[in-house]
Structure 1
Amino acid sequence: MEFVIKISQFLLSLSLLIVLHELGHFIPAKAFKTRVEKFYLFFDVKFSLFKKKIGETVYGIGWLPLGGYVKISGMIDESMDTEQMAQPAQPWEFRSKPAWQRLIIMLGGVTVNFILAYIIYVLISFVYGDTDFSSKSLKDGYWIDNPVLNDIGFQTGDKIISIDDVTINSHSDVIKKIISGEKYLIERNGVSQTIEMPVDFLGQLSSRKEKGSLFKLRIPFMVGEVVDTLQNKSVDLKEGDILLSVNNKEVRYFDQLSSVLEGYNGTTVSTVFLRGEDKIARELKVDSDGKFGIIPARNLVRFDELGYIEVTRKEYTFGESFKGGLDKFTEQIVSYWDQLGKIFSPETGAYKGVGGFKAIFDIFSPQWIWQDFWALTAFLSIMLGVLNLLPIPALDGGHVMFLLYEMVSGRKPGDKFMEYAQMVGFFILIALVLFANGNDIFKAIFN
């Protein structure tokens, strides 16, 4: 069921982004009376799953979900239709239009991507607001279970005071700085110290087989569900019960449980849980792996009530949401440009983390949470827009580069040159796609 939910989100998000991106080219093309021969979701190599001609345009759905396209008459694109380009230019063709109109047509896709992301962030701000956690409320620091962070010098319980000399006031400040942060000032047992991040931090994260989240909140062990096929199925525990102790040893945080249960494999232990305002005692069996067989839950409101964290909420009026959406949009643009910069810097090793469609699929939640779905779709829209602006022939950015050259120099690149440039760009794209998806396969086999 989890796979069905994830693949449904993946296909819905991808389809929405592709259709709207191509619509961004389609609308100005039609506005400038340029003929659009095809409008396709996914690629129709050899055959289509669906197609219907309306007017002069064939609308269809291909079988290969690697993107989509609009085929504009008189334009050298991925179709490499050299036969049409050998004919005299017609007034309805792309090549017959003024350079400024062609530029607007080519920029239409990425413009829609950025507008879509901004609108989504505005609506997220208005509908959901912002939820954050005060750094001062994290009295016992972060849970560090990522082996790379452990090797660098971080430990569970570390409080983050500043990153790159910028004071940290909330948990979101830490998350925003994970990619770019180079110098962390932390407090450990009341003593301040500085941790310098290695240049190849992102490369180490990608290469390490053992995985773990980055800077996890320390929360208690709350009962979500007692698995009815495992050892504690008959124990009277309810969703929301919070573990307080095991064999008279306090267990304040989830991350302390594994060490407390060490040595009790295959035995029964005495536990105390908090249910509402009452404490209840229960005998629980520990399996051979040192686990209770209980699926944990997460209730931030309850954790706030008990003093584990301080949840901060910011609500937006409809007018305020436009500013809130702009802030989120700007932060993501800056963050993604920073990621690209690190990917193209070999010394960072960030290229090892580049992924293809499986990597995108994996970041979707196994639960359908609309807020998360829309936030991820907005991010992917920004990613699609930025990548399409790269000055690589065959991408929108490549076409824009040649159009700007034409507008500045007054000389239009020849059709033969554009054909060769398109072929080079196409091979570059194929190489990038193979590299990204090859990374996915490599990690699936060896990690």
Structure 2
Amino acid sequence: MGHYLPAKWFKCRVEKFYLFFDPWFSLAKKKIGETEYGIGWIPFGGYVKIAGMVDESMDTEQLKQPAQPWEFRSKPAWQRLIIMLGGIFVNVLLAWGIYTCLNLFTGEKYHDLAKFENGIAVSEEGAKMGLMNGDKILKIDGKPAVRMENSMINMLLANEITVLRNGKEVSFAPKEDGIAHILGSKTAKLYITNRFAPVVDSLTEGPAKKTGLQKGDKIVALNGKTIRFFDEFSDGLAGKKNQPITVDVFRNNELKRFTFNTNKEGKIGFRPDFKEAEAAFNNTVTNQEYSFLPAIGRGFERTVESLTMQIKQFKLMFNKKIKGYKNVGGPIAIVKMMPKEIDWVAFWSFTAMFSAWLAFLNLLPIPGLDGGHALFTTWELITGKPVPQKVLENAQMIGVIFLMGLMLLIFGSDIYKFIISPFLK
């Protein structure tokens, strides 16, 4: 629609308006006036075919004839540029509209990093990135870190992270090895969380159970050193395999001490009470509500944030250490990202993000995409000379081959992961 409307305004003939693609045949079609409206059978977006334009249809026969007033090629460069950028504009407008409606009707629910009073607990992958247990995340690339959900993505894309560590501000560049581990792992996506007390929930066959630890015991010291959080206890056990340790617990308002050996893996055999962790995590939730005008403003901010995030993520694909191209996904990956049950906030949030992603993708100066067409038209505006027709045709062919290669990479990754995933469980 973004291309269709300005094409009509500038009196271009629109030959086709299709949802999905229709090589050889279409599922449904109806001609109204000069335009054929239809539904194709290959479910990848859609297109409009504008007369007199070099596009992915590679219909060059029409271009061999003299230019007609109603053809795209006969219009001034500034009109052609507006027609080309119309799709990108609508992608951004759609994302902005969805985010605005989400703000207005549901608000924003997020985990506020300022409420992590005791700092964060870090997974092994997060530690490889450079974070430490107890850190309070202050800034990412110089901007205040507020929302945990956004910050977890932004830190993977950042050049600099600033934290409060042991009372001092520390800035560092996240290590690429850690980022690669997080992107490549199915279990490491939540690489930071809140800290919680080490309360025993269940015991397995092991040293803790044999020695007499019980459900509900709260660990307060390890080898005489005070313990407040489960991550401190885990860190204290690190490297202590088959070694004697002393554990102090608080039970029924009494302090009890147990001495025993860790097992060969350096564990003592208990699971912490995650209800306590969940309660602590829920205490960090903030519900931000918006009235009409602030909802519009915040909607625009979220659109810009989403666009910026897409650009930064794109860079990860070509990083030699991070190897982001290994984690690309297509339709199968998108379906897997969707919640198992109906969650309209998640659905519309994803749709807005995806629309912003399409705006960025289409803006890339690759022949075959809107950005490629816009590049050649901008060149004509600057130089006053149109790009030769043969150059446009060859560039379009190269762009189509590149895009097909990119689709093969994405679909190949999807299919490969789909096939091998049962064997990785």
Query: Structure 2: how far apart are the matches of 1:416 and 1:387?
Result: 25
Candidates 29, 36, 50, aligned match of 2:28 = 50
SS in 1 for 2:158: coil
Map residues 7-406 of structure 1 onto 2, 5 A cutoff: 23-145=1-123, 147-152=124-129, 154=131, 159-164=136-141, 168-172=145-149, 174-175=151-152, 177-184=154-161, 196-208=173-185, 211-217=188-194, 247-250=215-218, 303=279, 309-406=283-380
With over 3 angstroms needed to count, the CA separation of the structure-2 counterparts of 1:298 and 1:320, relative to structure 1, is farther
Shift of 1:156: 6.0
CA deviations on 1:76-133 (whole Å, 9 max, x unpaired) are: 1111112221222222111122222111111111011111111111111111222233
The answer to whether the 8 A contact 2:329-2:410 is kept is: yes
Larger deviation, residues 181-190 vs 199-208 = 181-190
Larger deviation, residues 364-373 vs 421-430 = 364-373
Shift of 1:62: 1.2
The answer to whether the 8 A contact 1:406-1:412 is kept is: yes
Q: CA-atom RMSD, angstroms?
A: 3.8
Query: Structure 2: how far apart are the matches of 1:297 and 1:328?
Result: 32
Query: Structure 2: how far apart are the matches of 1:392 and 1:327?
Result: 27
Amino acid of the residue matched to residue 66 of structure 1?
A: F
With over 3 angstroms needed to count, the CA separation of the structure-2 counterparts of 1:210 and 1:86, relative to structure 1, is same
Shift of 1:378: 1.0
The answer to whether the 8 A contact 1:201-1:349 is kept is: no
Query: Structure 2: how far apart are the matches of 1:91 and 1:193?
Result: 64
SS in 2 for 1:68: strand
The answer to whether the 8 A contact 1:36-1:56 is kept is: yes
CA deviations on 1:374-424 (whole Å, 9 max, x unpaired) are: 111111111101110111111111111111111221211222221111101
Larger Rg belongs to = 2
The answer to whether the 8 A contact 1:43-1:68 is kept is: yes
SS in 2 for 1:48: coil
In structure 2, the residue matched to 1:19 is: none
- TM-score normalized by structure 2? 0.74
Query: Structure 2: how far apart are the matches of 1:164 and 1:94?
Result: 44
Query: Structure 1: how far apart are the matches of 2:281 and 2:177?
Result: 37
Kindly tell me the number of residue pairs found equivalent between the two proteins: 367
Query: Structure 2: how far apart are the matches of 1:420 and 1:159?
Result: 54
- TM-score normalized by structure 1? 0.70
Where in structure 2 are there 5+ consecutive unaligned residues?
198-212, 220-227, 235-269
Amino acid of the residue matched to residue 61 of structure 2?
A: E
Give the % identical residues. 41
Shift of 1:154: 4.8
SS in 1 for 2:95: helix
With over 3 angstroms needed to count, the CA separation of the structure-2 counterparts of 1:128 and 1:219, relative to structure 1, is farther
With over 3 angstroms needed to count, the CA separation of the structure-2 counterparts of 1:184 and 1:106, relative to structure 1, is closer
